Structure 1
């Protein structure tokens, strides 16, 4: 009798497994398609990158005045610009947004590893007294929007051990649409921001990782060096020399060198780049209420902005997908074309790209120890960043458009190629 029961149990389990496999296979087949839904290009979408400044200003006001309600307006141009920078970093991803007075649609396509197959998805968003997603289409599958929102709400709450998703959804008090524009009436955000602290506490790791510990160590070490107290701007190579010299003393193997070089770059990004980079690294400040910073900022080519571009891009390269740091730097320059910005700068882009290359060679097992030795002997900034003479900068949106049109034009790519050529001539990056 027992054997018979076990037999039927095994048969039942086998049937369940088969049904699950068939279901997954069926869903996969229905979700994958042979033609892309979206064919938009990032260069076209990035034309409106400067409009994102207005959106950032609205968000900053909403967060700073958290005990009041706010209206946040998003335009198709702003959303597609953000999609464009993501596509710039992830070429297999494409997305497009369309907003009308009666509905908004979001369409995305992801190419599967150059197989000729695509995952296509679209969502229909309706105006109303809350965030209303009517339906989501993934390939040939149709998912009710209410079901998907509920599933995502429960999943996020469960993962973060909080009510963050429920509170966030409840803050959206009204959604209105006009042609090319969506407006969110958002309730007071104080409860949401307080819940974010709960999330941070629930998801925090009680013990720092080794990289965080080392980054905190190098931050304290560099802040205690004599150059940090200089009344005059100090070249970034002086900070790199101090940090890499100490890293060389601590490195007994290529793996050690990779770890310590990572920590030096991250510490410098926080110290002479911007203290907010620390939010990406972790809690490395000795005093959370007062961030460490040098008496005067670091410089490259006698410019503080170039030193910051270099070291922050290096840090982003360590923490982001390949290509993301360049995409972010490029997007920031496109934003600067608008009124009040410093204008598009190929000089800044050269610093971004140089920082990215430095991070690559400094944290590769085959070259990490060589970089430590090279930085100890470095004599000139031109060994880590190329000359900037002749590179255009300060271009307004009109001037940029007249001269380069978009970021895929021959004229634009020629400037980028020239920067790559100059960087490629530096011995440090010829490893």
Structure 2
């Protein structure tokens, strides 16, 4: 075969593949009529109900006697779907439980601004003599029969959850029953089920290498934090340690990239000062026992703001800015309930600041870092919280701000982002130098 003919065949094959993909895309997607997801209603009760459902489920799965009993009713399903829709504004989820089966629906807006199409997925789950299973699914106009839908579902569970919990979950799922308009799962001697996600889920670019760490050099930075604490035993400002560790990262960058050094340092801050369990995401080759004991850190003299900052930074590194922000909102919506501390825009400012710090850390140059002292660093990573409302009940949010989607609520969110965008650390180097810092 001549080289010219071979090239022609390659072009033809590529055209056929692209045409098949285009047809598949048109079959599985539809024209987006309106972005209803951005107005998704969610309440404190929804968040609390969903949180309690997840908490009870995990606790029940871990029962030492192995006897598992789970039940979900329509109210709980609605709450869970509302929270999921709010957490992912580009998606809308719903579900219904009836005596004949459980139907779940999802509508995901494709992230293409000029091409407004969405993908709709719906599945019907029904009881069979062989056990509870998927009756069928539909992806756009594409019909997925029971055998194919269940096969894909089983593979998804095994892809996401480590063994033996994957098979335990599938065995429990098969025992599903519909009773009194609720979906129940009962099993004896099945557990305890220890839920652990596959490490490769945290390495989306390296799915074949499950041992690769997000922060391969984190142990070095944890030791540096421990040394800094010994040198400054009375220091409790998160910004102080953040600045010192990033300066160390700039020196460490001689042996690795600056981006990697920065992110390893940020992971170390989150593991040391927020939650030791973050080490499982940062570097699965290490354990919590290897994390040095460190004191609580503060932002603006408050422990809660420090935790909000670091947790949001981790969510940004694991997911997206949008997800990190929405999870921060959900936490405050839950606090707005009668037993919570109230909706706090100061907490929200710390959430947004942590998210932006993680998202923009690669843009920070060593020159900028050297322009600020460790005492000044808090003022360039965290905005002022002066004038931001705190302790609001859900009723006050509704009455004073028009609800969580109200204009006044969004104005306060925009005010927070304006304050963050105005932080000196995120301006260009010339502006920072002109300030004479």
What range is the shorter-chain TM-score in?
Answer: 0.7 to 0.9
Q: Is the 8 A contact 1:94 1:110 kept in 2?
A: yes
Residue 44 (structure 1) shift? 0.8
Structure 1 Cα separation of the partners of residues 168 and 125 of structure 2: 20
Question: What's 1:219 paired with?
Answer: 222
Contact 1:347/1:393, CA 8 A, preserved across alignment? yes
Query: What are the superposed Cα offsets for residues 183-239 of structure 1, whole Å, 9 maximum, x if unpaired?
Result: 433555536438979999xx9958654x52212210122123235873x56011221
SS at match of 2:331: helix
CA shift digits 1:81-112 (9 cap, x unpaired): 33223423xx2x22222333433322222233
State how far apart, in whole Å, the 2-side matches of 1:428 and 1:360 are.
13
CA contact (8 A) 2:123 2:136 kept: yes
Is the contact made by 2:215 and 2:267 (CA closer than 8 Å) also made in structure 1?
Answer: no
**Secondary structure class of the residue paired with 2:284:** coil
Cα gap change, 1:420/1:137 in structure 2, threshold over 3 Å: closer, same or farther? same
Q: Assess, with a 3 A threshold, how the Cα gap between structure 1 residues 149 and 107 changes in structure 2: closer, same or farther.
A: same
Q: What is the alpha-carbon distance in structure 1 between the residues aligned to residue 38 and residue 370 of structure 2? A: 43
- For the structure 1 residues 78 and 182, does the alpha-carbon distance in structure 2 shift closer, same or farther, using more than 3 Å as the test? farther
Per the alignment, do residues 311 and 29 of structure 1 end up closer, same or farther by CA in structure 2, a change over 3 Å counting? closer
Quote how far apart the aligned CAs of 1:136 are.
0.8
1:176 counterpart = 2:173: no
> Which of the numbers 235, 238, 241 marks the counterpart of 1:239?
241
3-state secondary structure, aligned to 2:105: strand
Please give the alpha-carbon distance, in whole angstroms, between the structure 2 residues aligned to 1:310 and 1:198: 25
Q: Alpha-carbon deviation of 1:154?
A: 4.4
Q: 2:347: which partner in 1?
A: 348
Report what 1:12 is aligned to.
Answer: none
Question: How many Å apart are 1:127 and its aligned residue?
Answer: 5.3
Q: How does 1:311-350 map to 2 (within 5 A)?
A: 311-350=310-349
Specify every segment of 5 or more residues in structure 1 that has no aligned partner in the other structure, as ranges: 4-14
The question of 1:131 aligning with 2:132 is answered yes
Q: What SS class does the counterpart of residue 190 from structure 1 fall into?
A: coil
Give the Cα–Cα distance (whole angstroms) in 2 for the partners of residues 166 and 143 of structure 1: 23
Distance in structure 2 (CA, Å) of the matches to 1:27 and 1:312: 39
User: Is the Cα–Cα contact under 8 Å of residues 343 and 393 in structure 1 kept in the other structure?
Assistant: yes
SS in 2 for 1:98: strand
Residues 163 and 27 of structure 1, relative CA distance in 2, 3 Å threshold: farther
Q: RMSD value over aligned CA atoms? A: 3.7
**How far 1:336 sits from its partner (Å)?**
2.2
* Separation in 1, partners of 2:340, 2:190: 29
**Contact 2:240 2:374 (8 Å CA) reproduced:** no
- Alignment partner of 1:369 out of 349, 366, 391: 366
* CA distance in structure 2 between the partners assigned to 1:380 and 1:362 by the alignment: 14
**In the alignment, which residue of structure 1 is the partner of 2:59?**
61
Counterpart position of 1:399: 396
Cα 1:36/1:276, change in 2 over 3 Å: farther
Q: Is the 8 A contact 1:99 1:182 kept in 2?
A: yes
Question: Given the two structures, how large is their TM-score scaled by the length of structure 2?
Answer: 0.79
| Distance in structure 2 (CA, Å) of the matches to 1:207 and 1:360 | 24
* 8 A contact 1:46–1:84 mirrored in 2: no
Mapped partners of 2:282, 2:275: distance in 1: 12
Structure 1, residues 36-58: CA drift from partner, whole Å, max 9, x if none? 59945453145622322321331
How many Å apart are 1:176 and its aligned residue? 2.5
Matched residue of 1:131: which SS?
Answer: strand
Aligned residue pairs total: 407
CA, structure 1 residues 185+392, in 2 after alignment: closer, same or farther (shift >3 Å)? farther
CA gap 1:121/1:60 in 2 versus in 1, 3 angstroms: closer
- For the pair 1:264 / 2:262, whether they are aligned, the reply is no
